[in-house]
Amino acid sequence: MMIPVGVLAMGFVSVASTSAGDGGALVRAAEQQRVAVIARACRSVVCIFDPGAGGGGSGVIVSADGLGVTNFHVIAGLMPERRGEAGLSDGRRYPLEVLGIDPTGDLAMFRLTGRDAFEAAVLGDSDTVGVGDPVFAVGNPFVLAEDYTPTVTTGIVSGVGRYQAGADPRSLVYTDCIQIDASINPGNSGGPLFDARGQVIGINGRASFERRGRVNVGLAYAISVNQIRRFMPGLSRGLLVEHGALGATVVDAGYRQAVFDKVQGGSAAAQAGIQPGDRLLALDDRPIGSSNAFLNLVGTYPAGWLIRVTWEHEGRRVSKEIELDRVPARLPPQVAGLYKTDETVTRAAARRAMSQPAATRTAPSRREAAFDAVLAGTVQLYGAAIGSEAGYGTGVIVSPDGHVLTVLSLLLEARRLRAVTRDGHVWRCEVVYRDERRQLALLKAANRPENTDTTAPLNEQMTVARWSPLTPSDGEEGAEGDSIFIVGNPFKVAQGDEPLTVMKGAIAGRCRLDAMREAQAFPWRGEVLLLDAITSNPGSAGSAVVDAAGKWVGLVGEIVTSRLTNTFMNYAYPAAEIRAFLADAQSAGGAESRPAGARATAAGPGYHGIRLSKLAYRRELPFVRSVVPGSPADRAGVRPDDLIISANGLAITQSRVFEELCDRLHPGDELSLTVKRGDVLVPIQFTLTEPPK
């Protein structure tokens, strides 16, 4: 028996697989090493308190004289006095002075006093970070650290180079940030993200939230430490450090092509000779193929920084070092007038940086290389959005001809359903097979993408695509406690050709889905894998679940909610059901399956006979004005003045939502309503028919 020790030790050390005889000793040694690394790192972590507001946050000391880094939004409550207190794991509080600030990028520096020397964290190199790398986040979530000992959460890097928009283009914008699946909650803001060696690779500051308030959902973001390094010279001197800009805008102009469309007169771009229509090739020697990539990278530099820009003008390649203009920061009222700017500091730092040899990206780890196949075999799906229902999801490529497996959802009712592959190509899709019992669907992508690479030779443009399918495991499908990784498109975080999100978890158990009590109606009653990972997020349905060896062992299902506790189930279809579904689809010849109750082919929406109140449209409440005699709704018992609460499991908060839902249903589809009649909730279910002649 071979034990993958690195996996059992949560990936914080790289240990080769070993035999069962000495595996336990190596796991214990790895665990002790990890505990020692975390203990050492925690001594540099600061728990910041805001006495006036009663809240708090986190930070990290980066030099022995007490200099530290945190988020701007953490120390904003300490203005205008610019003083507060912070606790360390030695159990003591120390005076804290706020130094420089970067409101646009959500950074700030502070200084602690009261000790001759402080233990400082080592800054790492965020350019060497890869998807799947183990990380741990340290901070003061929910102000739990009454003794100033910080909380530690572990996880992996879920994505790199992410962009998270702010309240506006000049405040709290996270560019080129690191996405992680370690738990980040209120109070973690400003705390450090460490790699397995205990080096700081980022500052935690944001997370994705949906439906559940400010509670961790497995997607969080850290400002990369290499970006922070560029701002530290000004921040440590107590300055307002603003972000840089070229003074030009970029638009997408075909597959992986970005073109300047507007150049401001007198801007840095104009002085360098950039003109509208020029094609942008690279920033700081990093290739740029989209407007999103341009915004993401240029936002990581402070004003006054020197950056090498490479572009193409009338077929000629041009490369110049350009000093960036400034993007004026949006300052809160309590901060305005307190700070000055001095871009000579960043100019000097930029020249020092350019005189040093460029860092090189290390070779991908075995873990990162193992993700290559599953990332190539997983696609982003975009389709119908109805009410609060997300119009995006995930699918898995299952054939070299472009068949994609996903879950049945309203997403698939779009008139223009499309998939985006890892290389950034966009493909029109159609549903070719439905399994209403399993709630799975098979899609077929077009032979050629919509966004053809027009710079490629014509014969390459005309070549029929070949896909990189995944094959469901046909052996052991995982036992309780086995490590797993989920690859998908939650919250539409990945844009364009950015890699999908990777999350780590474990198989928590197996059960039949109908073992749940007081849960929403769900047709599938078979066995599922219970997951110790948060997969009940918008867009996660259809994600691939792979084991530590990279075998495809499951597919994340549509969100299932308990009506009794308002909790969400994290589960996946096991590989056996995936194989059975694909076999059924193949035996059906790729044609759409129509078991009893499934929808039949129809040109337009199905007919129900419900007319909503005109008053309802003004008030946006879906009251039934009348019901057509003899219609499906009339025969099922829908009455005038009924208030529609939900339809097919979707909350109906507005009349528009009900109409959008029904527009995507066809004759033969079921419509399951919950209506409020007086003080009673009444369930009603019926089948839509062809519209009357």
**Rounded alpha-carbon distances, angstroms, from residue 473 to 217, 476, 579:** 28, 7, 9
Neighbouring CB atoms inside 10 A of 395's CB total 29
CA dihedral of 137, 142, 147, 149, whole degrees rounded to 10: 0
The pLDDT of residue 366: 55
Span 304-326, mean pLDDT?
Answer: 95
Choice among 44, 89, 102, 106 that is catalytic: 106
Cβ burial 636-671 (10 Å sphere, 16+ → b, else e): bebeeebbbbbbbbbebbbbebbbbbbebbbbbbbb
**Residue 189 annotated as catalytic:** yes
Read off the pLDDT of residues 670-689 as tens digits, 9 standing for 90 and up: 899 999 999 999 999 999 99
- Write the CB contacts of 273 (distance below 8 Å, at least 6 apart in sequence): 313, 318, 320
Choice among 44, 58, 126, 189 that is catalytic: 189
The pLDDT of residue 6: 34
The pLDDT of residue 602: 38
Average pLDDT, the chain: 86
Read off the pLDDT of residues 423-441 as tens digits, 9 standing for 90 and up: 889 999 999 999 988 999 9
Read off the pLDDT of residues 8-25 as tens digits, 9 standing for 90 and up: 333 434 444 445 557 788
Token pair for residue 610?
Answer: 């419900």
- Classified as helix, coil or strand, 394 is strand
Rounded CA-CA distance 136/39 in Å is 12
- Classified as helix, coil or strand, 20 is helix
pLDDT higher than 90, residue 465: no
H helices present in 205-342, as ranges: 225-236, 268-272, 291-298
pLDDT band at 660 (very low <50, low <70, confident <90, very high): confident
Span 450-475, mean pLDDT?
Answer: 76
Residue 83, strand partner residues: 97
pLDDT higher than 70, residue 619: no
**Residue 284 annotated as catalytic:** no
Rounded to the nearest 5 degrees, what angle is found at the Cα of 556, between the Cα atoms of 555 and 560? 140
Rounded CA-CA distance 125/689 in Å is 62
Q: Which DSSP string do the residues of 567-609 spell out, in sequence order?
A: -EE-EEEEHHHHHHHHHHHHHTTTPPP--TTPPPP-SS--B--
The pLDDT of residue 384: 85
The pLDDT of residue 53: 59
pLDDT higher than 90, residue 281: yes
Read off the pLDDT of residues 182-198 as tens digits, 9 standing for 90 and up: 999 889 999 999 999 99
Q: Could you check whether the bond before residue 691 is cis, i.e. omega within 30 degrees of 0?
A: no
- Max alpha carbon distance in the chain (Å)? 88
H helices present in 416-503, as ranges: 458-461
The pLDDT of residue 559: 85
Q: Is residue 177 a contact partner of residue 223, using CB atoms and an 8 Å limit?
A: yes
**Please, how many CA atoms are within 13 Å of residue 162, restricted to the half-sphere of its CB?**
33
pLDDT higher than 80, residue 368: no
pLDDT band at 394 (very low <50, low <70, confident <90, very high): very high
Token pair for residue 649?
Answer: 């499991």
The pLDDT of residue 335: 85
Share of the chain above pLDDT 70, in %: 86
The pLDDT of residue 360: 55
Share of the chain above pLDDT 90, in %: 60
Report the phi/psi class of residue 653: left, alpha or beta, with left for phi > 0 and alpha for psi in -120 to 50: alpha
The pLDDT of residue 584: 93
Q: State the sign of the Cα–Cα–Cα–Cα dihedral 550, 551, 557, 562.
A: negative
Q: Identify the DSSP state of 438.
A: T
Q: Is residue 326 a contact partner of residue 244, using CB atoms and an 8 Å limit?
A: yes
Read off the pLDDT of residues 534-563 as tens digits, 9 standing for 90 and up: 999 999 999 999 998 889 999 999 988 776
Span 231-257, mean pLDDT?
Answer: 94
**Please, how many CA atoms are within 13 Å of residue 187, restricted to the half-sphere of its CB?**
22
Report the phi/psi class of residue 355: left, alpha or beta, with left for phi > 0 and alpha for psi in -120 to 50: alpha
Choice among 44, 73, 325, 425 that is catalytic: 73
Helix axes 225-236, 343-354, angle to 10 degrees: 140
pLDDT higher than 70, residue 597: no
pLDDT higher than 90, residue 614: no
pLDDT higher than 60, residue 168: yes
Rounded CA-CA distance 467/488 in Å is 18
Give the highest mean pLDDT range of 216-225, 381-390, 593-602, 617-626.
216-225
- Classified as helix, coil or strand, 146 is coil
pLDDT band at 617 (very low <50, low <70, confident <90, very high): very low
The pLDDT of residue 215: 65
* Identity of residue 431: V
The pLDDT of residue 101: 96
pLDDT higher than 80, residue 132: yes
